[in-house]
Amino acid sequence: MIGLFRALSVFRAATLLWAMGGVALSIDELREPVAAIVLIGLMIVATLLLTLWPRRGSVLPPMSLSTVVFELSIGMIVLIGDGLVFEMARPQSLPWAWPAAGVMAAGILYGTRAGLIAAAFTGAASLIAEVVLLERFETNGTGIVGAVSKLGLWVLAGALAGYVVNRLRRAEAQISVVRAREEFARQLHDGVLQTLAVIQRRSGDAELAALARDQEHELRGYLSGSVDEPTAFEPEVRRLASRHESLHGGRVNVVIAPDLPVLDGQRLAALTGAIGEALTNSAKHGKAEQVTIYAEPTDEEAGPTVFVSVKDNGEGFDPSATEERIGMSRSIRGRITEHGGTVDVRSRPGRGTELQFTI
């Protein structure tokens, strides 16, 4: 952001020099030379205040609302003054493009909408100078054309500045996510993955070694980004069912409609992760001997979705009287709701539990 404001300072200084040159070349068209000098001096002072960068910061904080309002106010003053100091004809307006810096500053700090609002106020000042003070609307409408042309320049400047900054912020957020993921991957590799590898080599329990191997594979897939790639839903669910049977015993029935919509990698990972956690809960907390996983397509207003039911014959519980554990609140409900889905828990003591997902 500081780099953008430094570039804006260069633009401000360049347009000031051009405006000074334009006034010097059109000295014969000045009606009020003293007023013109005062306005140019005002622009010089404002430029210095907005551009000077002492060791501890600029004279006016560049990322402050008051600074933006100050610069826009100066720009509108000199635009209105343009209609007071010149005769009817002059090669260019007194401030030329200098007010565009304030419009761009508004867009940089507060987005495209703020840039457009700043452009509207600045354009109104230009219209007052051209049409009201100089009365140029009587000369073939040139005043209105000039004011509209400058308004178009400022609108483009404010909108483009806001758009560029929004893109930069989005890119910065994506870079931060990538860096956090790399740091997380480093910690997992140095800790969790090595621990899982040791368990596989030294454990005499075949089921524990298989579980460690599966977890290591999933973690490595997550770290490599393969979870974002499209994967068929049914094979993944049947793999979860097979692993559950080998680890916990019992029976897992899988019934999946053939016309399910294709899920993107992130929604598929969320849904299968929730199903896996639901299977674990059915064995760990419900002591279930049989689980049925059912999936079918549904039509919602936002588009096709998937309905999934995970129903077991375990001990069941009273959802209204039981506080959700982390596995339910984060690994199941959190995964589904993060992608705009819903989770419904249906259970009664002694009657088993059914979790219904829609995503």
User: Can you give the pLDDT of all 359 residues of the chain as single tens digits?
Assistant: 677 888 888 999 999 999 898 888 888 888 888 999 999 999 999 999 888 754 455 567 777 888 899 999 999 999 888 888 876 667 678 888 899 999 999 988 888 888 899 999 998 888 888 777 777 655 455 556 767 777 888 888 888 888 888 888 888 888 887 788 777 777 776 777 778 878 877 877 777 777 777 777 667 666 655 444 445 788 889 889 888 888 888 889 999 888 888 888 888 889 999 999 999 999 988 899 999 999 998 876 666 789 999 999 999 998 888 887 777 888 898 899 998 899 999 999 999 999 999 98
- In degrees to the nearest 10, what's the CA dihedral of 330, 334, 335, 338? -150
pLDDT at 55: 47
According to DSSP, the residues that pair with 308 across neighbouring strands are 295, 357
Please give the helix or strand (H or E) that residue 295 lies within, else none. strand 290-300
Q: Domains in the chain and their CATH numbers? A: 2-173 (no CATH), 228-358 (3.30.565.10)
Residue 53 has what pLDDT?
54
The Cα–Cα gap between 219 and 228 comes to 13
315 SS3 class: coil
pLDDT of res. 319: 87
Q: Widest CA span of the chain, in angstroms? A: 99
The answer to whether the CB of 91 falls within 8 A of the CB of 102 is no
359 and 345 Cβ atoms separated by less than 8 Å: no
Q: Could you count the other beta carbons within 10 Å of the beta carbon of residue 26?
A: 17
Question: How far is it, in rounded angstroms, from Cα 345 to Cα 322?
Answer: 12
Check residue 227 and give its pLDDT.
46
pLDDT for 137: 59
In the prediction, which pLDDT does 230 show? 41
For the entire predicted model, the pTM comes to 0.49
Per the CB < 8 A criterion, the answer to whether 47 and 16 are in contact is yes
C-beta of residue 303 within 8 angstroms of C-beta of residue 309:
no
